[in-house]
Amino acid sequence: MRLKEKSAVVTGGGRGIGRQIALMYAQQGARVLACDINPKALAELQEFAQGEGLDISICACDLTDPKGAQKLADMAQDLFGEVHILVNAAAIVVMGWIEDLSVEDWHITLRGEIDTVFLVTRAIWPLLKKSGGSVVNFASANAHVALKGLPALAHTAGKGAVLAMTRQLAMEGGPVNIRANTIAPGFVLTEETSQHLDNDGLMSQVHEKLMLDRLGTTSDIGWLAIYLGSDESGYVTGSDFSIDGGCTAW
């Protein structure tokens, strides 16, 4: 029960890493509010959680819209009164090479990866200030290195921005006891990444970079997110944690 008596808001909770973090946080004793743009995915999360004896509240909204972010903050206020942990796992990504990527797709990705972090964090900030708190953002191995074969121009820009934003949030949050850190995953098996498993050229590049002979799992990320949300990491802020099987170490 490493998160007992803590309240947590987890965005992107309908699937992938966000869903796993929401479940693992609840297993560790946190009161969880999960948000996603997909109400069906949230309902499935809540139903599964209830079957496991876990209590997860849900909020369906568009976090690229300030009104959606405020809706989430208002619900957190009503449920918890204060927020101890904010996990910004929501993202919208359009992959494409520079010659193929439209301006519209570029903007969709930057809104989905940068605006969602800014808008939600700004809306939740007053609730984090009430007791001090932890912001867990997501950078990426792609914020540090390029991966041959992956058309990730907009994605790298978005995650690089989140990496820089989080350092600034750590500085601004320090005086009010708000910590901010990033997790930088490598290739993690999710609904989104599974579509690339049949791409032999790309996957050979992925495996060539790994020091460990396996791909990452959402549970791998969840355990790190638990540490960053818990009091165990009380002196950790402004840091970036690579969790990528060693792919950025050489």
Quote the pLDDT of residue 192: 77
**Widest CA span of the chain, in angstroms?**
50
The distance from CA 15 to its chain's CA centroid, rounded to whole angstroms, is 11
Report the distance separating Cα 60 and Cα 63, nearest Å. Answer: 9
Residue 200 pLDDT level (bands cut at 50, 70, 90): confident
List pLDDT tens digits, range 71-81: 999 999 999 99
Res 160 pLDDT > 80: yes
List pLDDT tens digits, range 129-151: 998 999 999 999 999 999 898 99
List pLDDT tens digits, range 37-73: 999 999 999 999 999 999 999 999 999 999 999 999 9
* Mean pLDDT taken over the chain: 96
Report the distance separating Cα 41 and Cα 205, nearest Å. Answer: 32
Quote the pLDDT of residue 143: 95
Quote the pLDDT of residue 193: 79
Res 243 pLDDT > 80: yes
Quote the pLDDT of residue 212: 95
Which percentage of the chain shows pLDDT scores above 70? 100
Tokens at residue 96, please? 């494409």
- The DSSP line for 120-154 is HHHHHHHHHHTT-EEEEEE--GGGTS--TT--BHH
Tokens at residue 15, please? 């699937």
Query: pTM of the predicted model, to two decimals?
Result: 0.95
* Per-residue DSSP letter, 96: B
List pLDDT tens digits, range 219-232: 999 999 999 999 99
List pLDDT tens digits, range 118-129: 999 999 999 999
CB contact at 8 A, 112 and 68: no
The amino acid occupying position 155 is H
Query: How many other CB atoms sit within 10 Å of the CB of residue 146?
Result: 11
Higher-confidence position of 98 and 189:
98
Which CATH superfamily groups domain 7-241?
A: NAD(P)-binding Rossmann-like Domain (3.40.50.720)
Quote the pLDDT of residue 56: 98
Quote the pLDDT of residue 197: 81
Res 190 pLDDT > 90: no
Report the distance separating Cα 127 and Cα 211, nearest Å. Answer: 40
Tokens at residue 21, please? 């973090």
